[in-house]
Structure 1
Amino acid sequence: MDKNTLTGVLLMGAVILGFMWLNKPSEEEIARQRQQAEQLARQAESQATAPVLALDSISASEKSRIASTIKQFGVLDSLTGTCTLSVADATLTLSDGGAIAGYVSTPGGEVAVKDILLSDFGGMSRDNAAAAVATLRNAVASAERYKEFARHLSGTERTVRLENNLLSVDVNTRGGVISAAVLKEYDRYDSTAVDLMANGVDSYSFTLTTANQRFNTSEFFFTPVEVSDTSVTMQLALGGGATWAIRYTLPADSYVVGMEILQNNMQSVIPPSVADMEFAWHQKMARNEAGRMFEERNSALYYMFANGDVENLSEGSSDHKEVSERVKWIGYKNQFFTALLIADDYFTTAEFDSEVLENNPAYIKELDTRASVEYSSANPVPASFKFFFGPNSYPLLSDLQSELAPGQNLHLTNLIPLGWALFRWINTLIVIPVFDFLGQFIGNYGIIILLLTIFIKIILFPFTYKSYMSQARMRVLAPEIKEINDKYPGNENAMKRQQETMALYSRAGASPFSGCLPMLLQLPILVAMFNFFPSAIELRGEPFLWAKDLSAPDAIVSWSAHIPFISSTFGNHISLFCLLMTVVNIIYTRINMQNQPGGNSMPGMKWMMYLMPVMFLVFFNNYAAGLSYYYFLSLLITIVQTYIFRKVVDEDKVRAAMKENANKPRKKSGFMARLEEAQRKQQALLREQEKQRSKKRK
C-alpha cells in the first residue's frame, strides 16, 4: 500500500467517526426510548393476564342451566344436601342453598368453578382462561347428552380379582369388563403368563340404546358391589332406582366364568321398544408359541350356529363374514388356547373380521366381533353368557358340554383340528383314548409316543404282512413275467402280453394290486396322526432328549438372516427329528425298491423315489417335533419288520405254494372273467382297425 492510499483510508475513517459522534442520541432521548420499551412490555403483559372478554364468560342463563344439570344428573349426599356431578375433566357441586362450586382440569392446572362463573381468572393467561370456560361447558354438554349415565363418565380405574387354582380373572371398573384372564398352569414361549384377555389390548362392550342416544359401556366407570372371592357385580347406578350391572362368577376348579346382565327399573331409561342389545369383542391375538408359522396356521375365529354347524374364518388370510342366522357361541382360538363366549340363549346376528398381522413379532392376528342379543328393559336378567378361558384339551372340551349347556351338543371339540370325518374318527376313538390312558401312568411323553407308535404298528401288522407277502409273490413271478415280456415285445403285442400276464397271475393266485389295499388302509392312520400331534396340548412344553418342546420344531441349528425362498418354505432352522426322519425314510425307500419285483429295472425312477424324502424334510421342518419323532419311529419299526419278514418268509416255499396253487382247478372270479372278456373285445377291435388300415394302404 503506497502513501497516498494510506492517507485516503485514514481520512475516510475520520469522517465516519465524526458522523457517528454528531448523530449520537442525547441522554434524554435514551431515557425516552427505554421508557417506551417498558410501556410496550407492560401492555403485552396486561393483555396476556387480562380477564376473558364478556363474550367468553358464563352468562346468567348458563349458570342456571349448570345448576339444573348438576341437580338432575348428579349424586345427592343425603347428609349434606350437596349434589355432585363428575364428568370427564370436571367435578361440579351444587349446595343445598344453590351455590355452584367444584373445579375443572386444564393444561395449566385446576381452576375453581366459582372463579369461572365470576370471570375471576387472576394472573391466568387468556388461553388457560378460555380452556377453563370451554371445559366447563363441555362437561355440562356431556352431562346433558349422557343424562343418567353422566355420573359414570369419570372415576377411578381399578380391578377386582377372582381366581381359583386354574384361572385368575381381573374385572375392571372401567367398562365393567374382564381385563385379564391368566391361565395359571401355562406360560408363553417367553416364560410370561398366557393371558387370553389382556388389558389395553383386548376388550369387549355392550351398547345401550335409550330414547334418543346410544351409549357404549366401555365409556363408563362401574362400581363394584357384592364382592366375594368367587363373584363380583359391576354396577351403574342411574338414579331413580334404575341400575344396570354385569355379574361375574368363577367357580372352583373351572376355566368357565359366568357373565350375567342384571338390571332394575331400566324402563325409565331404555324404552320398551328397544328389542336388542349390541355386543362388540376385539382381540389382538398374542403369540404364545415358539413356532410362529404353525401357530398362525392353527389360529382363527370360530363360531357355531344354532343348528350345530361350526364354521371359522380363514386361518391363512384376512377374512370377513356376516351371518344373519342365530349363533350359539363365538371362539377366538389360538393353536392351544381359546377364549370362548357362549350365549345362554343366542346371538341373533353377527359380523366377524379377522386380520393377519404378518410383520408383528408379538401378535399374530386381530379379531373382531359385532353381534346382537335379544333385550328387554323389563327383564331383570336380559342376557347371560359364559366365558371359557382355557386350553384346547380334547377331554376337557368334551366334559364341558354337560357343564355349559346340559342337553345340548356345543361341538366344542371342533375347536381342535383333528382332520376330516374319517381321520377325526380315528383320532377320537383310537388315538386320543390310548394317548390319554398312557399319560395316566407315564410322565415322559417321548416314551408315550414310542408306545403309541408300537400300538399302532401292532394294529397295522396284518396289513403290513399281507403287503409284504404280495411283494414276495410278485418277486417270485418276476422271471416268468420277464419271459412273457420278451416273448411278446412291442406295442402291437400289448394286448396279448397283458392277457398272458393276467393268466399267470390267475394261475399263481397272485395280484399286482393285492399289496395296494393294505397300504391304502394304513394311509388314514398316517393322516390322522399328522393332524393329532400338532394339536395335542399335552405335548406343549414337554421336553424329550434334545427337544425342549415336542409341540414345536426341535431346532439344532438356526439363523436370523432372511434367505429368500428358503426362509419362507424351509424356515430359519434345521430340526433334528425331521432330519433323522428323512435319513430313515431314504433307507426305507431303498429297501422298498429292493423288495419290488424287478428290483432296479427302472433306474429312471430312482431319483424320483429319493426326492420324496427330501421334500418331506422341507415340509416337516417347521412342524412339531413330536410329529417328526412319530414318523421317525414308524419308519424305523417298518424297516425292522421288513428285515424280520425277510428272515421268516421263505420265497422258495412261496414259489412252491404258488406252483401247487397253479395246478389246482380254479374258478375264475367275476372280476377276472369280465376283465378277460373286455380284453378279448379290445383285441378284436384292434384287429378290425388293423384290417381297415391295410385296405387303405392298398
Structure 2
Amino acid sequence: MDKNTVTGLLLITAIIIAFTIYNRPDREQIEAQQRMRDSIAMVEIERAQLEALQKAGGETDSTLPGAGSNAVADFFNAGAPSSPTDTTALSLATEAVVPSSVQEETIVLENEKVRILLSTRGGSIRSVQLKEYLHHTGENLLLFDGPDEARFNLNLFNRNSVHLSTEDQVFTPVSGSDAHSVTMRLQQSPGQYIDFVYTLPADEYMMDFEVRLAGMKNGLHPESLTNFRMNWAQKIRQQEKGRMFENRFTRIHYKYDKQDVQKMSESKNDHKELSEPLKWFSFKDQYFTSIIIGRQPFSNTILNSEVLNDPDYTKQYKAEGWIPAVISPDSDLITAGFNYYFGPVHYNTLKAYDKDVANSVDKLQLEENVYLGYRWLSWVNKWFVIPVFNFFLSLNWGMGLIILILTLMVKLITLPLTYKSFMSSAKMRVLRPQIQEFEKKYPGNDQEMMMKRQQATMELYNKAGVNPMSGCLPMLIQMPVLLALFFFFPAAIELRQQGFLWADDLSTYDSLISWSGNIPLITRFLGNHISIFCLLMTVVNVFYTKYNMSMTDTGSQAMPGMKYMPIFMSVFMFFFLNSYPAGLNYYYFLSTLITIGLTLIMKQVIDENKILAQLEANKKKPKKKSGFMARLEEAQKMQEKMAREQAKENAKRNARR
C-alpha cells in the first residue's frame, strides 16, 4: 500500500468521524425522542390492558349512558400528573371502547367520480366507491367497505400522557361550510372538541382532510402539540379476473420529500421503517389506489405489506406515522391535515396534479404509481406511446383498431432498421454456397477444423464488405420500443373492460378453455386457462421463426445445437405470456403478422442476384479491414494458436503414457 493510498484512507476516516460527531443529536433532541418513545409505550400498555379486560369481562356495558364520554373528559380535562396508584389510564382504556350496540350512522360525501361514506364511529371513512368503474364481475367497484377492510385512527396524548384513540369514539356530524364538505365532531364542551373536516371538490378524486383540535393548547403533551400519531390500514380487494397477474402490480409506493419514488415488494411480505421525511405513500392494486399526501412531510413512518391467502383480498397494508401539527397564533386551534386520493392509476390523471408546480423537486410525481418499465426505458412510454394512445382514444375509436394503428406506427418507425437487418441477412444468404465450400474443405467438428472454417468465413465477409453484426444492431436499437410496449399494456387502465372480438376485457387474459383445480406444472406456468390471442401469437411466431431461420441460414455448422433455440424460445413465450393481458398478446400477434408481410415484400422487391454481383465486385477492390473485423481476425488467430499449442501438449502427454 503506497503513501497516497494510506493518506486517502486516513482522510476518509477523519471525515466520517467528524460527520458523525457533527450530526449526533443534542440533549434536547434526545429528550424529545425519549418522550415520543414513552408516549408510544404508554399506548401499547393501554392496549394490552384493554385486551386483558375485554377477555376477562367482555365488552363495556352498552346500557351505560354516554359510554366512552369519560374518556373524552379525561383527555380534555388535563390536570396534575396522576399518582402512581391512580387508575386514570386503566379507566380510560375500559371506557373508551364504543359498545357494539351503539348505532352507527353514515354520512354520504360524493361527486361525479367518487362516493364516500363517513362513519360516526371514529369519524372516519367507512367506504369508497369509484363511480366510473366496475368490478370485474360487473358490480360496483369499492376500494374498501367497512371497518374490517379499512381503519383510520388518530392517537393523541394530553400533558399527563392520557391517551385518546379516535377510532374508539362516537363523533357527531356537523353541517359543513358547503355541499362539498362534512365535519365530524368529538366534543367535550363548546370550546373543547376535535373536528375531522372532509372536503371533496366537484369532479375530483382528491379529497382534503383536516384535523382541528380546540381547547387544548395548554393541555396537550409537548409531542402532540407538534405531531399527531396516525394509523391507516387497508385490505386490498381483488378487482380483476386474473389474480396471479394482478398480484404482480399490487404494492405500496412511497415518496421521500423532494426525492424519488420508491416501492415495496409485491411478491412477499415487506416492512419499512422510514426515518426520513415522507411526502406520500400509496396503497395500490393493479389499476386503483389510495394515496395519502401530506401537507407537510410525515415523519418516522412505518409501512407494512402482507400477502394474503384469501379469495377476496390480495394484500393487507398498514401505515403508521406522525402528521406535523400547526398551532394557530390567532385562535385556540391546533391543526394538521393531508389529502386523500381515491382513484384510478391513470398516468395523465396523476400527472395533472403537478401541472402548476414549477420546481421539479416539489413535484408530487404521483404518476410514478403507473409502472411503465425501468427508468432508462419508461421515457418511450411517457413521450411517445401514451400521447399517441390518448390521441386515438380522444377520437372514440375502438380499442382493437387503436392497437392496430399503434402497431403499424411502431413498424413504420422501425422500418429502416428492419430493412437494414434484412439486407444484412440477404448478403450472408447469397454467400451461403461459398461458405458451404469451406465446410467441404475443412470437414469435421474438431477445434482446429472449426477454427479454420471460421477464419475462412470471416476473410470472405471482409473481402465482400459484409459485417455479420450489422443485422444485430438494428434489432438492438428497436428493443427499447418493444420492451416499452411490453410494460405499457399491463399498466394501461384504458384497456380495462374494453372488448375486442372474443375478448371481453383486453386488460386481462382471454380464455379459449379454462379449468378449476391445480394441475401439477401446468397450473403453475399457465394458470387455469389457455389464452386464444396468446395461442395465435405463438403459432404465428413459430411459423415466422422457422421461415426466418431458413432465410438467414448461412450454411455454417459451427454450433448445430443452437439451430432449434429460436423455436424453443417462441414456444417458451406462450407459457410466459399466457396470463398477460389479451391486448398485449393481440399486439404481438399483429406485430409478427406485419413483420411476415414486410419480409415477403422485401424478398420480392430486393434482387439478390444484384446483391451477389455487388459483393463479388467488392472482392476485387482493395479493402481495408474495419476495426471490428481486424480485432475479430486477430482473436481467431490467437485462438487458433492456443488450440495448436494445446494439441501439442496433449500429444506429448499421450506419448509419455
Q: Same fold (TM over 0.5)?
A: yes
| Deviations 1:112-143 (CA, angstroms, capped at 9, x unpaired) | xxxxxxxxxxxxxxx9xxx9899699979757
User: Could you tell me how far apart the structure 2 residues matched to 1:623 and 1:685 are?
Assistant: 49
Structure possessing the higher radius of gyration over alpha carbons:
1
- Tell me if 1:531 matches 2:531: no
> Residue 514 of structure 2 aligns to which amino acid in structure 1?
S
Matched to 2:596, the amino acid is: I
Structure-to-structure mapping, 1:281-320, within 5 angstroms: 281-320=232-271
- Residue in structure 2 matched with residue 387 of structure 1 by the alignment: 340
Aligned equivalent of 2:210: 260
- Most deviating of 148-157 and 387-396: 148-157
Equivalent residues in 2 for 1:549-568, closer than 5 Å: 549-568=505-524
CA distance in 1, matches of 2:72, 2:242: 51
User: Contact 2:538–2:574 at 8 Å: present in 1 too?
Assistant: yes
Cα pair distance change 1:691/1:205, threshold 3 Å: closer
Q: What is the aligned counterpart of 2:173 among 212, 221, 224?
A: 224
Spell out, residue by residue over 1:160-184, the C-alpha distance to the aligned partner (whole angstroms, 9 max, x if none): 2221111112222211112122111
Q: After superposition, where does 1:188-207 map in structure 2 within 5 Å? A: 188-200=135-147, 201-207=149-155
Aligned to 2:163: 214
Taking the aligned partners of 1:411 and 1:504, their CA distance within structure 2 comes to 55
Cα distance in 1 for residues equivalent to 2:399 and 2:532: 17
Deviation at 1:593, TM superposition (A): 1.2
Once the two structures are TM-superposed, the CA of residue 605 in structure 1 deviates from its matched residue by 4.6
2:600 is matched with: 643
Partner of 1:178: 125
Q: CA deviation at 1:439?
A: 0.9
Letter in 1 for 2:173: P
- Select 2:430's aligned residue among 476, 480, 492: 476
- Aligned residue type for 2:269: S
Which residue in the other structure is 1:36 paired with? none
Match of 1:396 among 321, 326, 349: 349
Instruction: Please state if 1:460 is matched with 2:431.
Output: no
Inter-partner Cα distance in structure 1 for 2:470 and 2:247: 42
CA distance in 2, matches of 1:428, 1:662: 47
Deviation, 1:207, is: 0.5
Counterparts of 2:430 and 2:235, CA distance in 1: 64
For structure 1, the residue ranges without an aligned partner over 5 or more in a row are: 1-126
Which of 323, 346, 360 lines up with 1:373 in the alignment?
323
Q: How do 1:111-510 and structure 2 match up within 5 A? A: 145=74, 156-200=103-147, 201-210=149-158, 211-227=160-176, 228-239=178-189, 241-274=191-224, 275-358=226-309, 360-375=310-325, 380-402=333-355, 408-489=362-443, 490-510=446-466
Q: Deviations over 1:641-698 (max 9, x none)?
A: 1111111111111101111222222222233334444444555566666677778859
Per-residue Cα deviation, 1:332-372 (whole angstroms, up to 9, x for no partner):
001000110000101111111111112x1111111111111
Query: Structure 2 CA distance, aligned partners of 1:138 and 1:427?
Result: 57
Mapped contact 1:163–1:229 kept (Cα < 8 A): no
CA drift of 1:594 comes to 1.1
Alpha-carbon separation, structure 2, partners of 1:335 and 1:261: 31
Mapped contact 1:308–1:411 kept (Cα < 8 A): no
Cα separation, 1, equivalents of 2:543 and 2:652: 57
Matches within 5 A, 1:12-51: none
Q: Structure 1's 163 and 478: CA in aligned 2 closer, same or farther, altered over 3 A?
A: same
TM-score between both structures, scaled by the size of structure 2: 0.80
Q: 1:248/1:397 Cα in 2 relative to 1: closer, same or farther (>3 Å)?
A: same
- Give the SS at the match of 1:238: strand
The equivalent position to 1:621 in structure 2, one of 569, 575, 578, is: 578
The match for 2:630 is 673
Which range is displaced more, 368-377 or 311-320? 368-377
SS in 2 for 1:196: strand
Cα deviations by residue, 1:602-625 (Å, 9 ceiling, x for unpaired) = 875555433222221111111110
Distance 1:196 1:398 in 2: 21
Secondary structure of 1:668's counterpart equals coil
Higher alpha-carbon deviation: 376-385 or 516-525:
376-385
* Higher RCO, Cα 8 Å, sep 6+: 2
SS at match of 1:267: coil
Sequence identity percentage: 42
> What secondary structure, in the 3-state scheme, does the structure 2 residue paired with 1:335 have?
coil
Report if aligned partners of 1:554, 1:625 keep a CA contact under 8 Å in 2.
yes
Report the aligned-residue RMSD.
Answer: 2.9
- The verdict on how the C-alpha distance between 1:553 and 1:593 changes in structure 2, with shifts beyond 3 A counting, is same
Distance 1:599 1:145, change over 3 A: farther
Q: CA deviation at 1:273?
A: 5.0
> 1:139/1:591 Cα in 2 relative to 1: closer, same or farther (>3 Å)?
closer
The alpha-carbon deviation at position 630 of structure 1 amounts to 0.5
Q: Structure 1 pair 305/644, CA: closer, same or farther in 2 (3 Å)? A: same
Distance 1:253 1:450 in 2: 33
Name the structure 2 match of 1:67: none
* Inter-partner Cα distance in structure 2 for 1:234 and 1:695: 94
Change (3 A) 1:307 1:273: closer
Evaluate the alpha carbon distance shift between residue 139 and residue 596 of structure 1 in structure 2; reply closer, same or farther with a 3 A threshold. Answer: closer
Residues 680 and 291 (structure 1), Cα distance of their counterparts in 2 relative to 1, 3 Å cut: closer
User: CA, structure 1 residues 282+140, in 2 after alignment: closer, same or farther (shift >3 Å)?
Assistant: closer
What one-letter code is carried by the residue in structure 1 that aligns with 2:597? V
How far residue 375 of structure 1 moved from its aligned partner, in angstroms, is: 3.1
Q: 1:251 to 1:405 in 2, by over 3 A?
A: farther
The equivalent of 1:582 in structure 2 is 538
User: TM-score, normalised on structure 1?
Assistant: 0.76
Residues 285-335 of structure 1 deviation map (CA, whole Å, 9 limit, x = unaligned) = 111111111111110111111132222221111111111111110100010
How far is 1:559 from its partner?
1.5
The secondary structure found in structure 1 opposite 2:189 is coil
Note if contact 2:512-2:530 (Cα within 8 Å) is conserved in structure 1. Answer: yes
Distance 1:519 1:171 in 2: 56
Distance 1:133 1:435 in 2: 58
- Aligned position for 1:521: 477
Give 1:541-556 correspondences, 5 Å limit: 541-556=497-512
1:632 partnered with 2:632: no
Q: Is the 8 A contact 1:197 1:203 kept in 2?
A: no
Please state how far the C-alpha of 1:549 moved relative to its aligned partner: 0.2
